[in-house]
Structure 1
């Protein structure tokens, strides 16, 4: 690895992160017996690279083999020609450390930034939808999936049904195509109704064939309850299920012209007002009003920032409802929402309000980067735990990328203010940064003398 560029942002970031913290924290999840596990730095590094480069589990493992900078980031001093691990090992590692472990990683991504950027009394909060990996939900699709699942159970348990309905289902599937067309909607509705009836019939037949076998009844009780719940839900039913594998997803109408509904979970993001560092995130199991999501997001923020005080959170009009919020029964935070100017406001107060709410819009592109660059556009991790982990990893990747950009632009543009900020963050690179500062100042004076 001696031929790598020591000034590359990824190399500098690898030298800056305190990997020993992760090893000490996650050692409790490992046993000293059995086959030796993969290094903790390797697994954490692969997950961070995955979010930084917007790669899947399979692709990040292959990219690691081909990229020496990725290997250096994960702690290897010699180039490796073999794959670091199987892609499924990342799944096991995510389940091993859980939400608590990823909160620890996210907190460290905040701590590597300078205290000057974190010591802000004002923060900005907003919510977005983290869409789940599911197809557009319709009653016909769900009924067909339930029938397919029941056929698999029949095959596994070696049960003989009275009738499989395979040929009839094929025709109903054809009838559901283009079901919104005026000439096809009547036939499509009839097919949807018939598919539900077929699913219920097969379900009852399987239940009868189980007979007095309590072991089989208990084995499939949860699945059968889910199937019945999906088949019985109507148009106005509350807490609908939109996917058999993502039962926590719910429909949210955000008022977008190009997308009527988004199917997933609501996520809150909190950033510092001026520096734009993500200091708090939270995923929400239920589709709550924005004002009710704020408490959980600010609790996560205060736990990450520690003793640093936050006096005010700036939000949009979707958070209307209360003017203050109390966190942990001791911290009182004011909620600022755009409103009409009052006659008693002085010119100074008006200018402060305008600047504050103009700055609030800075969180929108941050959410855009989380979605387009760091895998929050569509969450491929399963369940509500997957929603929480993906949100924490996306926020971690954004903070690390922001840190890398500060270093990159400071080094290549020669900007004195950025160089000073990079110097505060890169203690291990003190000699290099001081040399650059002296060189820049020397060049300025030489130009003046000339």
Structure 2
């Protein structure tokens, strides 16, 4: 914890302005947040109600109020970045190696990928078009642009009609969708004609919104690399073959963990929804760096079939017929 505090303290800004929140408090809150899968608001509320969590985060006396600016943990997330989060994970691995696991446990790992879902609404065409129109109208009001018609009443009615028509009235749904598409295009062109009259910073903000709107207006149902959320362009559609949830919207993440104890020794986002086998080498490299132990055996599922890495034995369920009974038990 001392090492984490020193490294996080180096990330604090200069002496100008209000001092940042104490690194010890932030480190404790981040650990509690990920240990119990809590949001920023939930972890702060639990911290106020639980004296044990306060003591864990460095407080010496009982606190009855939320610390200053702790609700904006997002800024600390950005300040830490990928390297800072990896340092936190490496410190938890070192703590586990002292009391919970043996260092040799990291030589045999299980590697799998999952979808890290993003908080986005179902990305239907009507919803995306309506969100584009709403954001364009708000931007026009904020920057003082004149829009000939904002279609607040018509577009809202069309969006609700499309949701009802989708169950049986497909021709009516397509007609309403085309109408909404044309209305959004009109608002976009009204804003686009007036962009050049603004300063560079404001112009860049509007350009970014216009580019995303054009992308949504131009994409088709069968296109690749579609935009699924106006506020989060990094969101991808991931199909993991689940019966209850065929498609998930977020970013693919590779997670290596020890085979015996199940301790997570790595976590890395894999943007672009790559083939699982192409992520294995990067995941094992990160696990070796964070745990200071080079994996020798990797147990994976059939999604990694066909991949080979020098110096590492890779086992997957497709090998059960040609391996020993002991290895067959390990793969299970």
Cα gap change, 1:213/1:309 in structure 2, threshold over 3 Å: closer, same or farther?
A: closer
Cα gap change, 1:350/1:92 in structure 2, threshold over 3 Å: closer, same or farther?
A: same
In the alignment, what sits opposite 1:325? 309
CA distance in 2 between counterparts of 1:124 and 1:219 reads 44
Q: Aligned Cα RMSD in Å?
A: 2.0
CA distance in 2 between counterparts of 1:256 and 1:267 reads 16
The equivalences for 1:45-444 within 5 A come to 45-114=28-97, 116-120=101-105, 121-182=107-168, 184-210=169-195, 212-213=197-198, 215=200, 216-306=202-292, 308-322=293-307, 324-326=308-310, 332-339=311-318, 350-358=324-332
Once the two structures are superposed, what CA deviation does each residue of 1:330-379 show, in whole Å capped at 9, x if it has no partner?
xx22221223556xx6xxx5212212212xxxxxxxxxxxxxxxxxxxxx
CA distance in 2 between counterparts of 1:233 and 1:172 reads 20
Counterpart secondary structure, 1:145: helix
Residues 136 and 209 of structure 2 are in contact (CA less than 8 Å); yes or no, is this contact kept in structure 1?
no
CA distance in 1 between counterparts of 2:54 and 2:320 reads 56
Counterpart secondary structure, 2:167: coil
In the alignment, what sits opposite 1:33? 15
Q: Between Structure 1 and Structure 2, how many residues are aligned?
A: 327
In the alignment, what sits opposite 1:365? none
CA distance in 2 between counterparts of 1:214 and 1:39 reads 38
Once the two structures are superposed, what CA deviation does each residue of 1:154-207 show, in whole Å capped at 9, x if it has no partner?
11122222222223213312311233322x221111111111111111111122
CA distance in 1 between counterparts of 2:238 and 2:57 reads 39
Which fold has the larger relative contact order, with Cα–Cα distance below 8 Å and residues 6 or more apart in sequence?
1
Residues 130 and 267 of structure 1 are in contact (CA less than 8 Å); yes or no, is this contact kept in structure 2?
yes
Counterpart secondary structure, 1:223: helix
Counterpart secondary structure, 1:267: strand
Counterpart secondary structure, 1:325: coil
CA distance in 1 between counterparts of 2:206 and 2:78 reads 24
Q: Unpaired segments of 5 or more residues in structure 2?
A: none
Counterpart secondary structure, 1:112: helix
Q: Unpaired segments of 5 or more residues in structure 1?
A: 1-18, 327-331, 359-450
Counterpart secondary structure, 2:222: coil
Shift of 1:303: 0.6
Which region of structure 1 is more displaced relative to structure 2, 170-179 or 311-320?
Answer: 170-179
CA distance in 2 between counterparts of 1:68 and 1:341 reads 51
Shift of 1:136: 0.8
Residues 61 and 85 of structure 1 are in contact (CA less than 8 Å); yes or no, is this contact kept in structure 2?
no
Structure showing greater Rg: 1
Residues 317 and 337 of structure 1 are in contact (CA less than 8 Å); yes or no, is this contact kept in structure 2?
yes
Counterpart secondary structure, 2:42: helix
Shift of 1:90: 1.5
Once the two structures are superposed, what CA deviation does each residue of 1:416-446 show, in whole Å capped at 9, x if it has no partner?
xxxxxxxxxxxxxxxxxxxxxxxxxxxxxxx
Shift of 1:214: 6.0
Cα gap change, 1:24/1:167 in structure 2, threshold over 3 Å: closer, same or farther?
A: closer
TM-score of the two chains, using structure 1 as the length reference: 0.69
CA distance in 2 between counterparts of 1:245 and 1:236 reads 22
Counterpart secondary structure, 1:124: strand
